[in-house]
Every structure is written in C-alpha cells, then in structure tokens.
Amino acid sequence: MRAFFDPRSVLLVGVPRATGVGAYNGLEMLLRYGYRGKIFVVHPEATEILGHPVHRRVADLPEVPELAVISLGRDRVLPAVKECLDRGLKRFVVISQGFGDADERGRELQAELVAQVRAAGARLVGPNTMGSLNSFVGFTTAFVDLSRPAHPPPLTLVAQSGAPQVGSESFTGPLGQALDLGNAADVSFAEVLEYLEGDPLTRVIALHMEGLPEGRRFLQVASRVGRKKPIVVLKTGRSAAGARAALSHTGSLVGEDQVFSAAFARAGVLRARDTTDFKDTLRALVKLPPLQGPRLGIATPSGALGIIALDALEAAGLEAGPLPEAVRRAVEPLGPYWHRLGNPVDLWPIGMKTGDYLLAAKETVQGFLAADEIDGVLCMLPALASPLHANIVRPREFIAELDLPRFGKPLVLCLYGDGRDHVMQELAEVPGVACYVAVERAVRALARLAAWERLRRQPPEEFPLPAAAGAADPRILLGQGALEYLSRQGLPVAPGRLAATPREAVAAARELGFPVVLKAVSPALVHKWEAGAVLLGLTDPEAVEAGWATLWPRAREAAGGQDPQGILVQKQLSGREVLLGIKRDATFGPVVVCGLGGIYTEVLADTAQTLAPVTETQARELLTSLRASALLTGVRGEPGVDLEALARMLAALSRLAVAEPGLAEADLNPVLATPHGCWAVDARLVWRPR
C-alpha cells in the first residue's frame, strides 16, 4: 500500500500535451504540488511535455517505477496495463471512467482489468478515481490543481469519490493524505485500514463510503484499528434500499441503512450524520486531546447562550459539571456584588464592571481546566469585526495565556458575531483548541470525543464469517412446524398441535388444557390477525368445534381460495408481546432484530437491530434500547418481564442465524414475555439458497 501513498517513482500514461487552463494535465498538477520523486511519462507522439522527457513505450523505460497512473480512454486501458505488467510494474491507479460505473461493456472491461492485474500479482486502485494524495511529500495523482497545506494534519481520507479530496475544505478540512478508491474494483477499505493502522502519518481516519462489498471483513479490521485510531465514516445512500418489501415483519421493518448504523456502532466506527457533522467531528479529533468524561465547564458572555448550551448538552449525553470552588473564589469577586456564579458562568457582568472581559474568561477557563471535577471546556466568545471591540477579540493572545498543553483537556470555542470567520481562520492551526460557529455543533463535537474515548477502552469485537449456504430449495415453515424447529434449536415455544380436522383440534385442546387459541396456518397468511385467522379464548370442546367451522372458510377466503395447511391449536398464554427476528443483509450477513410485537408492530415501528451473533449482555442492551423498554422492565406498578430469559432467547436466535446460513428470515411474533419466562407463540421461517 505504501506505493499508492508515497511512491519513490511514478509513471504517467495518458498525459495530454496541452497545459494550463482546461488541460487537466496530471504531470503539471504533480509538479505544481511539489513532488520530488522520479517521474516517467509515456506518450506515443510527444518528445517532451513541460520540458520533461517523454518515452514512446513503457518498454523503453530505463527502470521500473513503483506506481503507474493511467488516464486513457477505457478501450486503451487494458493494453496499457499489459505493457506495464510486462515491464514489471505492480501498482496501478486507473483514473479512467466508463467501467463498472457505466454500461455492461464497462463492467466486462472492469472484470477483465481486475483479472489481468491479479493474475500478475499486482494491485489496482480504481478505475474511475482521483487516486491518491500525500501532502507530506507533495504527491498527487489528481488531474486538478490542489492547494498543498503548509502544515499537513495527521488526517487520512479514504473515499469513493474524488470530490471530498478536491473539496476537502468543505468535507474534512485540510488533509494529510487521501485515497479515492473509485469503483473499488480491487483495493478495498479493509486493506487501506490495515495499512493506516501502522502509518505514522495517520492519527485520524476519515471514510467516505457509498458501498461495501466485504462487510464483515471490513468490520473485523475496523474493530481493531478503530481502538487505536478514530475512524469516522460518512455513509451515503441512506434511503436506497430501506423500503424493500420482505416476507416477514423483520425484513420490512429493518432497512439497509439501519443495519449499517448498527454495524458501525458494533465495530467502534463513528458515523457522521451529514457532511457538516463529518467535518465538525474530524476537526475535534484532529485538534483536541481526549474527553475523559461527560462533565463540561461552560463560560459564556450571555445567559441565553448558557441555556442553549445546557439544552445541547442534554441532547448529546453530556452534562455541566459542578462549579469548582477555585473558579468561584478567583472570578466571582471581580463582578458586581449581586452576581453569583454557577455553571454555566455568565461573564458579561464581570466584563462590564472590570472593562476586561477576556481576563474574566481566561480566569474561568483556566479554573475549569485545572479542576479535577471538569473533563472539558466550552467557551463562547464574541467575535466582532468593529475596531471598537478589539479589546475582546484577541484570540491568539487568549489561547496562548491559557497554556493548554499543561492541562491535557479539550477546549472548544463557540464564536458568534460578524468577525467569527476571521477568528476561526486565525486559530485554524493553533493546537489544542477547536472553533465552531454554533453551540450545538460545538457540543456534538465534544460528544464525539467522549464517544471515541469510550470506544477505545473497549476490547475489539469479533465478527465471525457465516458459512456459505449450499444450494437448497426455498421453503417456508409456518406455525407449529416453525415452532417445532425452533424448539429443536433450544428456543422456548408455546405448547401446540397442528390439527387437520375438528376432531383432531378438540383432542389437541383437551391434551393442552383450556383455554386455547386457534390459528390458521398458510403461506398466504402473513398477517393472521388482519385476515381474521386467529380465534382467542376457546374454553371448551364445543367452542373449538365452532371455531374450526368459522376459521377454515375464513382463512380459505383470505388466502384466495387456497386451503390452509391446518389449524394450529395452542395453549393460550398471556404476557407482553415482543418481536424477535433475524434477516440476511446483503453487506453484513445475519442481523438480529427485536421490538414490540403483536398486531401493532408496524404501527409502532419500535425496533432495534445489530449484527449476529450477540452475547446475552448485548441482547439485553438491545432490548433496553427500545423506546418502550419500560414496558419490559416494569412501569406504573406493573412487574417487568423476565429480561434475562428474553435476552437468552435473543442470543440463541442470533447464534442460529450464524449457524444456519440458509435461514434467510425468521419472524417470531409474538413472543410472550412474562415475569417468569418467555415463549414464542407464532413464527415464520424462510429458507433461501444464498
């Protein structure tokens, strides 16, 4: 991977002879960016470009470069790559478009390109890429002119587009290194993460992700690397597959994007909500020391801003710490006799009395930084352009006097006023402080610091790769057949019998004990309650016979004239209705789901999901993450359910998802949870060949 980021020599194939405006000349951009390694250019007609000697053929090169950058029409790429392979080159960046990003012919060419490269033991970034960038050594494969930062940050971007690299000021801020995977036909996110794990120039990793072919492989690597270096991902395409229909409640309630979020959380990857959140989070991670806890000290020139900050803290899971007595003793005497301090500290009355607002701010912030009971500081500062307020706009002096390295705590400035952009620019490269233009954005950035600190203290997770499912005929198990299968796997199920006649139903009811429930079983009846295919509270043989006579024709009509497979007679139980399920995600494989069950599952849409398998502890955390989890733990005098038994059941179901790769979907709805155990009373299992 080093050759993609820091090649000692590079070959350019497809450089135009034109230079200047509109030429998009890769050689010109490379020279302007400051590359000092060896450059070789191949062109079939030119003898020199920009005064640089040109070779007619790759075979004519005096030595084998470390990296080839190819920018040709797609039909000329494969022959050029073959020439390079014949000369011994092993690393390629293919800028050219029109491959997997285009038509069927392009997809065929991309497959041929990858096969050609891999057969030779070589590696490829792209095609359809901007390639790589290294600000530390002045290397870029871009065909646009980029500004090289004077002091590159320890931030590396791995993207699936050239736009975040070209427009880094809008997406990430200044970049130390970047790699655009383009179509990601060969080199993957996981491989780049493994390289960056040991890269001394990288301390923070940013990912722009559109798709992820090897989901579990990525999570295995990210879970390890993300404990050493924070990984922030901007995953786009949130809504593309979220509304796909499925055969079960589980499949329809869980969208692809929800699974990505759950997977990132399990692996310890911080997911940005949007481009603003992406840039804000990266700024905090690059510029600030860790936030060791949730307690913040808040300094503000306005009581109103302090209230806004408190609202933002609560939303972000942070809190205002206690006011240190040292701050009270140092700062309160400076203000009016009537001004009593709390946290947030309102500094304006002190500034008005003393005429030195920044002195009061400095004393307050220093006191917060020195206090053991405070983990980080949020300071809101006015940034006014008028020269009449120059006494309160001295940002570099203010920060220098704080001596931030001595404390090792994060300081976030929230700037407001018409001079804020100038102040942000002035402090952009000052270490130890990060500036934001909105209180909420500043607080969210601090919350990301706290999240990263929690994540890095946790051990990496394992993400076992499920065995590949062999070819099998698709089949569906419903009702008692599904419950019997689950019972054989060790999951608790309600007692029941599948009856083919009214007489069998009565005999089953007597054996199980009244009252009983009757349920029609048919592949066409996904939602039995809406179809009128469930009868409750049958207390004697006559009621069972009458129920059969009612249920059979009703179920047949609801199924479009198709006879049900039978009538399930089940012991009637009572308890809290819960949904447990599994599904197969195209990227990450088996996913386990829980939520409120019964007839209101889709209406309430209160579900949580994560990758399978889960431990019993993780299963319990998933259950208690539901919005209505109080219904499970106990509310208004009602006893809670046996949460440990429910967690054991969910964990067992998740292990089944990994052990049985042919099981595409499982929908246990409802599971009746009581204070003394839980039982599945209905289920739908779907097998499909992978």
CATH number, position 557: 3.30.1490.20
Q: Are residues 537 and 452 in the same domain?
A: no
Q: Chain centroid to CA 69: how far?
A: 32
Last residue of a domain, one of 550, 571, 592: 571
500 plus 453 within the same structural domain = no
Residues 88 and 230 in one domain: yes
Is 683 a member of any domain? no
Question: Do residues 87 and 55 make contact, with C-beta atoms less than 8 angstroms apart?
Answer: no
In a domain, 478, yes or no: no
Q: Are 316 and 450 members of one domain?
A: yes
656 within a domain of the structure (yes/no): no
**Residue range 378-410, pLDDT digits in tens:** 999 888 888 888 777 788 888 888 889 899 999
Q: Is residue 49 part of a domain?
A: yes
Instruction: Say if 186 falls within a structural domain.
Output: yes
Chain segment 498-526, per-residue pLDDT in tens: 898 999 999 999 999 999 999 888 877 77
* Dihedral sign (CA 357, 360, 363, 364): negative
Residue 392: DSSP 8-state: G
* Residue 687 within a domain: no
State which residues form the domain around 400: 285-457
Q: Kindly state whether residues 405 and 531 are assigned to the same domain.
A: no
Listed as ranges, residues in the chain with pLDDT below 70 are 239-255, 466-474, 599-603, 689-690
Do residue 222 and residue 106 come from a single domain?
Answer: yes
555 and 407: one domain?
no
Q: Are residues 50 and 103 in the same domain?
A: yes
Last residue of a domain, one of 457, 473, 503: 457
Rounded Cα gap, residues 308 and 443, in angstroms: 10
533 and 421 within one domain: no
pLDDT tens per residue, range 7-62: 999 999 999 988 888 888 999 999 999 999 999 999 988 889 998 899 999 999 99
Question: What confidence score (pLDDT) does residue 467 get?
Answer: 64
pTM: predicted TM-score of the whole model, two decimal places: 0.89
Q: Characterize 78-115 residue by residue with b for buried, 16 or more Cβ atoms within 10 angstroms of its Cβ, and e for exposed.
A: bebbebbbebebbbbbbbbbbbbebeeebeebbeebbe
- The CATH number given to whatever domain includes residue 189 is 3.40.50.720
CATH number of the structural domain spanning residue 293: 3.40.50.261
- DSSP category for residue 58: G
What domain count does the chain have?
Answer: 3
- Residue 252: the pLDDT is 41
Q: Which residues, in sequence order, are CB contacts of 561 under 8 Å at separation 6+?
A: none
pLDDT of residue 396: 82
For residues 35 and 96, state if they share a domain.
yes
Please say whether the dihedral angle defined by the alpha carbons of residues 609, 610, 612 and 614, taken in this order, is positive or negative.
negative
Do 152 and 222 lie in a common domain?
A: yes
In a domain, residue 403? The reply is yes
| Domain finish residue from 571, 592, 617 | 571
Is 78 in the same domain as 223? Answer: yes
Query: 89 in a domain, yes or no?
Result: yes
pLDDT the model gives residue 468: 64
